[in-house]
């Protein structure tokens, strides 16, 4: 293992929040109890606020429903999606911790090939606390892992790496397919455990899935906006993709790292492909323009904070993508509102911030 510039420490109990968007009971937490119970949970209730979400006993958590979102953000709550798991980013906004792990409520504990239960959170923390290597590819994958290093021909000046902003985990069982692929291959299951973590190289975009995702909120939080999706919007299931495209170009600009690979979770249930097709179909053709847009984005050198980068990106989105659909004008505005909301709740002057009054449980 190469010498990382930062060290893997304790499991960051007081520095990490687990954010879960849900419309149902949180029974899935029972299986995660040994791994999650020491941490603070932020539950964002997706949809009807009158519905009662049950959290298993013994978890330290706060719960926000739509009424809470409106109360906390006032007019700025318009940037938070309703009836869509995109609402999870509200949890990123109200957290006061350095790290976030977010997971869907249909994701369970996976097992590695030896049959051992995978502590997904521990692996994400390991990924985030060791550097990334976006400028050159290491053929033996993550050089900061035990038992491996940089291979011959890897420039020594690049071996320090850069801070890791995002750790993207994968899924056993139900793969994260779009509706057309779900329809064509309803029985395909992911059974392959690829024992690797790797840095996504600078300049390369990837499809970031929000199901099993961790990030450093201080490094990249303001770029983790999941857009306008679901109720009243022309599109769904592109919330995490949007966040991934924006976050990746900003990470590239600011020399921050994005890793993908381990850990796996067990994804239990395929969502309905017919419903998904309705949500996705505009995204499927819009992305043919969106991807080249993000591939060509160049942020100005004087954008040195995530907020500055994000506001610049919002302008470019309005300018370059509104010809694709007027939706992108609205999305560009919402990106600005999101940053205003972020700064409102995360202003350095306000720290330590007053609690934002979710329903505190336990």
**Which residues contribute to the site for a second copy (CB under 8 A)?**
113, 136-141, 147-158, 168, 170, 175-178, 181, 185, 188-196, 200-209, 237-238, 240-241, 244, 260, 280, 284, 287-288, 291
Cβ distance to a second copy smaller for residue 81 or 346: 81
Nearest Cα residue to 26 out of 16, 36, 13, 38: 36
Cβ distance to a second copy smaller for residue 51 or 189: 189
Cβ distance to a second copy smaller for residue 36 or 141: 141
Cβ distance to a second copy smaller for residue 196 or 353: 196
CB of 113 to a second copy, least distance (A): 7
CB of 105 to a second copy, least distance (A): 18
CB of 117 to a second copy, least distance (A): 19
CB of 27 to a second copy, least distance (A): 25
CB of 108 to a second copy, least distance (A): 19
Q: Name every residue whose Cβ is closer than 8 Å to that of residue 160 and which is 6 or more positions away in sequence.
A: 5, 131
Q: What share of the chain is helix, strand, coil (3-state, %, to 5)?
A: 40, 20, 45
Cα diameter, the chain: 60
How many Å apart are CA 203 and CA 239, to the nearest integer? 21
180: left (phi over 0), alpha (psi -120 to 50) or beta: alpha
Cβ distance to a second copy smaller for residue 170 or 334: 170
Cα 128-270-109 angle, rounded to 5 deg: 45
């Amino acid at each position: 293992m190469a010498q990382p510039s930062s060290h893997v420490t304790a499991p960051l109990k007081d520095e990490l929040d687990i954010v879960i968007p849900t419309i149902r009971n949180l029974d899935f937490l029972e299986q995660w109890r040994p791994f999650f119970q020491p941490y603070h949970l932020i539950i964002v209730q997706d949809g009807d606020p009158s519905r009662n979400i049950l959290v298993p006993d013994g978890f330290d958590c706060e719960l926000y429903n739509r009424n809470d979102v409106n109360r906390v953000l006032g007019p700025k709550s318009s940037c938070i999606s309703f009836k869509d798991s995109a609402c999870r980013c509200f949890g990123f906004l109200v957290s006061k911790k350095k790290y976030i792990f977010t997971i869907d409520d249909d994701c369970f504990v996976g097992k590695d090939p030896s049959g051992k239960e995978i502590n997904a959170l521990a692996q994400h923390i390991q990924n985030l606390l060791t550097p990334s290597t976006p400028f050159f590819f290491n053929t033996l994958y993550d050089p900061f892992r035990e038992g491996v290093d940089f291979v011959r021909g890897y420039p020594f000046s690049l071996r320090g790496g850069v801070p890791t902003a995002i750790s993207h985990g994968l899924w056993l069982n139900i793969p994260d397919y779009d509706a057309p692929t779900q329809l064509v291959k309803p029985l395909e299951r992911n059974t392959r455990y690829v024992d690797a973590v790797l840095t996504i190289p600078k300049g390369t975009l990837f499809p970031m899935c929000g199901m099993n995702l961790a990030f450093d909120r201080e490094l990249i939080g303001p770029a983790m906006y999941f857009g306008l999706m679901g109720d009243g919007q022309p599109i769904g299931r592109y919330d995490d993709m949007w966040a991934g495209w924006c976050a990746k170009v900003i990470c590239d600009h600011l020399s921050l790292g994005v890793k993908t690979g381990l850990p796996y979770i067990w994804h239990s249930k395929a969502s309905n492909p017919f419903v998904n097709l309705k949500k996705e179909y505009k995204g499927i053709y819009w992305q043919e323009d969106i991807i080249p847009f993000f591939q060509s984005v160049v942020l100005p050198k004087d954008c040195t904070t995530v907020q500055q980068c994000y506001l610049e990106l919002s302008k470019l989105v309005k300018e370059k993508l509104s010809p694709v659909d007027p939706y992108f004008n609205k999305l560009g505005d919402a990106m600005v509102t999101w940053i205003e909301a972020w700064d409102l709740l995360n202003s350095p002057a306000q720290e330590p911030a007053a609690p934002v009054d979710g329903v505190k449980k336990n």
